[in-house]
Structure 1
Amino acid sequence: MSEKKIKNIFINGAIDPVFIAKSIANHNSKTDIGGHSIFLGQIRKDEIEGKFVSAIEYTAFEELALTKMHEIREDIFSKYPLSCMHVHHSLGKINVGEICLFVFTSSKHRKPAIDACNELVERIKTELPIWGKEIFADNSYQWKENI
């Protein structure tokens, strides 16, 4: 594994749209970038067996998740010619309509940014030890399946 510092991807609570906007705006001065790809994961008000989801509470095995994310990050950087990669995932209770995942990739051209962003999202969902508990309006809950 590289000697690069392991980045903390976790944010307590929902990811604020202002934070997302500032992250995007910070790239105006990076004039070698020609394409960005952004994925925003938002909590849906799913109906399951007649009950509506009101929030998802995220927990993680943080140390393992951060180590694995570092490996994924290194792999993606070696596979695609990216200028930047940013990943932020919520922990705690995130209400319907709020953002819980923000993935942002940048490259000289659009295709590597798009392909890297798509692969990152898929690998985050399948490889990181992060769990979501769907909380219903009546305060009952069930563990969410990542699909």
Structure 2
Amino acid sequence: MEKEHKPRKVFVEGPISPDFIAKSIASHQSKTNIGAHAIFLGQIRADEKEGGVVSGIEYTAYEEMANDVFYEIREAAFSKFELTCLHIYHSLGLVPTGEISLFIFVSSPHRRAAFEASEFIVEEIKNNAPIFGKELVGEGGDFQWKENR
């Protein structure tokens, strides 16, 4: 019998805290059918840009459309890999350098599926989710559109 997966809340305001990440991990200790977790954390870098150093990224999104895309990514991951749990969280608003803006937490009975699913999910988000970042650059605080690499 296949599980029905409902759309979940993906966006959080501001940085994703280490406390939130730790609580997410701790909440899975009772799930004894899990043999592996893969965690991806996207952190804001202090890149050197023309005009100064990046001090943060301000994220915006077409939220309704993005939630649909995240749901499709989630469903594709569950159909492609043997997963037990999958959680995706992405920041909106300003996230300072050194802070976490993307948290992907994948659980599976076996490690290979968790690793492969994590990479698949990150690539799908980067390629398909309508999320936009403006980098805060230099002392004057000028915003520049972020380019994904």
State the TM-score, normalized to the length of structure 2. 0.94
Amino acid at match of 1:135: L
Structure 1: tracts of 5 or more residues without a match = none
Q: Summarize deviations over 1:93-146 as a string: whole Å, max 9, x none.
A: 000110000001010000000000010011111100000000113211210011
The 1-side partners of 2:40 and 2:10 are apart by: 15
State the TM-score, normalized to the length of structure 1. 0.95
- Report if the CA contact (8 A) 1:126-1:146 is conserved: no
Amino acid at match of 1:83: T
Matched with 1:146 is 148
- Report if the CA contact (8 A) 2:5-2:75 is conserved: no
- 1:97 and 2:95 equivalent? no
Give me the CA root mean square deviation. 1.3
Matched with 2:114 is 113
- CA apart distance, 1:50: 5.0
Amino acid at match of 1:133: K
- CA apart distance, 1:5: 2.7
Q: Percent identity?
A: 55
Matched with 1:39 is 40
Runs of 4+ in 1 over 2 A off after TM superposition: 2-5
User: How many residue pairs are counted as aligned between the two chains?
Assistant: 146
Matched with 1:24 is 25
Matched with 1:75 is 76
How do residues 1-16 of structure 1 correspond to structure 2 at under 5 angstroms? 4-16=5-17
Amino acid at match of 2:23: K
The 2-side partners of 1:55 and 1:98 are apart by: 9
Q: Summarize deviations over 1:40-92 as a string: whole Å, max 9, x none.
A: 00000000125100010000000000011111111110110100000000000
Matched with 2:137 is 136
